[in-house]
Structure 1
C-alpha cells in the first residue's frame, strides 16, 4: 500500500496544456445523469470538470431539467434526454448518449440518477463499443448495472473508473457486507481485477486500486465531505482530469486528493461541518496551481 500524498503527486504529474492550446485540446467532457428529483446534480459535476481544467463541457439530462440546467451552467452545451414515469432517465437514454460519445474525450455517467432509473438499459449501449481514445467514470446508481456487465467493462482495457461508496461496492461485487469493514483494500483490488478497471472505494479512507499497479490510500478529507453533492463533485474532477489526458489511475488519484484537500481548506475557513458540495469546485484551481 502506498499513501496518496504530495510525494506521490509529484512523481505522477498531470499533463499540462501548452501556451498555444485551445478548448478542444484541453479536453471535452460529457456528463450524463440527473433526474427530475435531483436536477442540479450535473451542475456540480460539470463545474468540477471545468475547474479541473477540461476545455469543453456537455451535459445530458432529463428533458424537464435540461433548460434550467443550461441557464445555471452557461459554459455547457445541454442535451435533453427522455424520462421515465418516475422522472429518471428513460430506457432510450443510453442509445442517445452513445450517439454523443463521438464528440467527447471523457464521459461521466450516473451523478444524480436514482434507483428507479433503468441503469442496465442505459449502460449497455454506452459501453458496447470500446474506444482507445475515450475514458469513462461510472458513478452512483449506474454502478448497480455494472455488476452485470463485467465482460463489457473489461473490454475497455482499464479506461473506466468505478467510484462506489461502501453500499454501492457491496452491490457491485455482490459480496458479504462484512467485507467492507474487514478488508476494504482487498475488496478494492479484487474489483479492479474483476472489471479490469480503476476501482475507487470511497469512505473515511479512500482506496484506489488498479490492475497491475500498487494500491493507493488517501486518509480522507474530513467529515464535512459527507454531504449531499460531494460525490458528484468528485466524479466531475476525475472526468475533467481524464479529458485533459491524464491516465485513469493518475486522474482517479489526483481527483481523490483534490476533492479531499478542498474539503480540508473549506473546513479550516468555514468550519469542519456545514460547507456545501457546491463550494468544493472553487477550491480546485488553487490546489492544482500549488499542490502541497
Structure 2
C-alpha cells in the first residue's frame, strides 16, 4: 500500500484539477460518495433489516440519527457531500457547521448550498451553525442527541495544536462514546507523523481519499484511525508516477509471491549455505536462535562458527546446523585469530550472519571490522556486530557486497551517534537517510519495524505485537533474513519477508496468549506461518 504525505497528496490534487482538468468539486463528490458507501457498510445502515442485524449502536434502527460535524475547509466540504447522500437515503441527518455560512468558499461553499437545499425539503434534516464556544454550549444537548457522528472538521493539512472551541468539540465527541466516522483523517492527527496535535478524534473508522496517509499508519495515529479504507477519487496514474511516492505499508500480497514452488529434483544444495558467526560466554542462546531460525526459513545448510570453548554447548542447542570451533581469547570470546578460518569457511557460502551475542571485546571488534571490510558475500549485521562498528561506519560505506543492518533503537543511536530519543522521534527520517547515505538495507526494529532501502524507499511492517518484547526475538529475525538471502532473495525482499513473517509468527503465538511466549517458540511457528501466507496467494 502506498503511503503519502500531506504535501504529496495536495500536489496530486492540484495537478489533477489544474493540469488534467477534473474539477475539484468532482473530486469532492467522488470522495463523499465513496465515504458514504463505507459508512453505510461499517454501521449497517444499508437498510432497516441490515441495521437491525448489524448496527453496533444497538438502538431502534428507525431512529438512528447522524451528526455531520463540518469545518469550513475542504474536509467540511466532503462532510456536506456525505450529509447530502445520507439525507437522500432517508437517514435523519444534522450538519453542524463549525463556522458561519458566509465564511465558506470554493467547493465547500458549493456543497454547503446543495446540502441546504435538501435540508429545506427534508423534515428529518437540519443544518446548524456553531461558530463559537457560546453557541456550542447552547447546542451541546442537540449535538449529543445524535447516534453516530461524521468527523469532517480538519483535513490532512493540520500541523498545529487544536485549540479553543474546536478542542472542546473534539473532546465532546470523544466523550460521547458514540461511534465516530472520520473523513480523510481523524481531526487532530498530523497526516505526516501520526502525532496528536493536542487532541484528536478517536475514530471507529476512517475513509481516506486516493492514498493512505503516513499518519494513519504510524503510532499513535494508527490507534486513532480505526478501520481504514482508501477511496478512489480519480487521481490519474501518471500523476501518481510523477509524484513518485517512496513510503509503503507491507501487505501479504507483497510477500507471498516471493516464495516460488520448489522443483521436484531439489536438494539441500539448491537452497544455499549460510555461515553464522555469533555467541559469547553467557550468550550462546543468541547464536542458537539465529542458526535454528535460518534452518526453519528453508535454508539448505547452516554452519555456525563459535568460540571453541562454547562449541560443546552449542552442539547441544542446534541439531541441524553444523558447528565449527574458532579461536578465542582467554576470556572465551571470539578472537581476531579466527579470521583466516572464517574466510576459508566463507568459500561456497551465500551469506554471512554476523553479530548475535558476539560481544564487544577488543579482539572481537577487530574481527568484526575485518570481516565487514573483506567479506565478498552479503552480510547481515546484527546486535553486537553493529556495536563493534559504531564509530567506524566508513567500513560499511566502503563495502562492495550487499549489506543489511538490523539495529534496535539503542544500537541505531550508537551507530549514528544520536540519542535513543532522537531515533524514536524520527525513525523514518533517520532510517531512510542512513540507508541512502551508506547504501545498505536498514531494518530499524521496534513497533512498526521499518525496512529502509538504498534507493530511498521505506516499508513499514504492520505485523507483530507487544508480546514480542522479550530477549532473543532479534536473533530469530536475523536468522530469517539471512536464510532468505541465502535462498536467493534480494536483500530488500529478504528483509521485507523476514520482518513480515517474523511479526506474523508473533501474532500467531499471541492468539493463544498476549505475552509470555519466547523467541524459541517463534522458530517452530515459522514454516506454518509461511504456509498460511502462501495459502492467501492461492
> Aligned partners of 2:483, 2:328: CA distance in 1, in Å?
26
1:89 pairs with 2:334: yes
Deviations 1:140-173 (A, max 9, x none): 0110233344343234456111000000000111
Alignment of 1:108-127 (within 5 A): 108-116=353-361, 118-127=363-372
Alignment of 1:18-97 (within 5 A): 18-97=263-342
Instruction: Give the TM-score normalised by the residue count of structure 1.
Output: 0.92
SS in structure 2 of the partner of residue 103 of structure 1:
coil
CA contact (8 A) 1:2 1:215 kept: yes
Deviation at 1:40, TM superposition (A): 2.3
Relative contact order, higher structure (CA 8 A, sep 6+): 1
Deviation at 1:99, TM superposition (A): 2.4
> Aligned partners of 2:270, 2:311: CA distance in 1, in Å?
26
> Aligned partners of 1:125, 1:194: CA distance in 2, in Å?
21
2:467 is aligned, of 193, 211, 224, to 224
**Could you tell which deviates more after superposition, 182-191 or 84-93?**
84-93
Query: For residue 8 of structure 1, what is the aligned residue in structure 2?
Result: 254
Cα pair distance change 1:198/1:68, threshold 3 Å = same
> Aligned partners of 1:228, 1:106: CA distance in 2, in Å?
24
1:281 is aligned, of 497, 509, 523, to 523
> Aligned partners of 2:320, 2:262: CA distance in 1, in Å?
20
Deviations 1:40-94 (A, max 9, x none): 2211111100110100010111112112312332212211122224432223234
Cα pair distance change 1:135/1:187, threshold 3 Å = same
> Aligned partners of 2:507, 2:362: CA distance in 1, in Å?
34
The unaligned stretches of length 5 or more in structure 2 are 1-246
Instruction: Give the TM-score normalised by the residue count of structure 2.
Output: 0.51
> Aligned partners of 2:261, 2:367: CA distance in 1, in Å?
33
Deviation at 1:199, TM superposition (A): 0.3
Cα pair distance change 1:118/1:24, threshold 3 Å = same
> Aligned partners of 2:370, 2:344: CA distance in 1, in Å?
9
1:197 pairs with 2:443: no
Deviation at 1:130, TM superposition (A): 4.9
Deviation at 1:37, TM superposition (A): 1.1
Deviation at 1:182, TM superposition (A): 1.7
SS in structure 2 of the partner of residue 24 of structure 1:
helix
Query: What is the count of residue pairs matched by the alignment?
Result: 288
> Aligned partners of 1:16, 1:35: CA distance in 2, in Å?
38
CA contact (8 A) 1:158 1:248 kept: no
Aligned-pair RMSD on alpha carbons? Answer: 1.9
Deviations 1:180-235 (A, max 9, x none): 12210011111112221100000112111011152100134111111111111010
The unaligned stretches of length 5 or more in structure 1 are none
Deviation at 1:24, TM superposition (A): 1.4
> Aligned partners of 1:265, 1:234: CA distance in 2, in Å?
16
1:104 pairs with 2:349: yes
CA contact (8 A) 1:14 1:250 kept: no
SS in structure 1 of the partner of residue 497 of structure 2:
helix
SS in structure 1 of the partner of residue 262 of structure 2:
coil
> Aligned partners of 2:360, 2:477: CA distance in 1, in Å?
20
